[in-house]
Homo-oligomer: A and B are copies of this chain.
Amino acid sequence: MSDLRRTVERFWAAAEARDWDTFADTLAEDVLYTLPQTRERISGRVRYVQFNREYPGDWHLRTERLVAEPGQVVSWVHFKVGLEEMYGISFFTGDEEGRISAVTDFWPEPYEPPAGRDHLTERY
């Protein structure tokens, strides 16, 4: 089992650098991308690279946290597009060559705290 953690580090560094050859090299040919929030899926390396390449805006990212075990990695990434900042959480699965065979992304949005719990919480 190759080091999927290192593959995911390369994946994000290549995305930030718009180095789409290196980015493609981190992916299995039949990689499956899933977005549960929109119920969208993208099948295969060619389409998934194109999706990232065409993603609009002058976005920049930095990795906040990586958690890795053999064959599975989770990243928490901080994205900036102009003045907008957001978090992306991605679950990666690897194949035997240490390439990424599946990515599932979550994009949580800010929301107002529900009433009735400010006796326990503080805002920051």
Contacts and interface: CB of A to CB of B under 8 A. Distances in A.
Interface of A: 34-43, 47-48, 50-51, 54, 56, 65, 67-69, 72-74, 76, 87, 89, 91, 106-113, 116-117, 120-124
B67 A37 contact: no
B106 A87 contact: yes
Copies in the complex: 2
A40 B123 contact: yes
Given A67-B72, A87-B36, A121-B41, A109 B109 contact: yes
A42 B87 CA distance: 21
A56 B115 CA distance: 11
Contacts of A50: 120
B89 A106 contact: yes
Contacts of A42: 120-122
Contacts of A117: 40, 51, 54
A6 to B, nearest CB: 14
A91 B67 contact: yes
A33 to B, nearest CB: 9
Nearest to A34: B124
B40 A121 contact: yes
B74 A37 contact: no
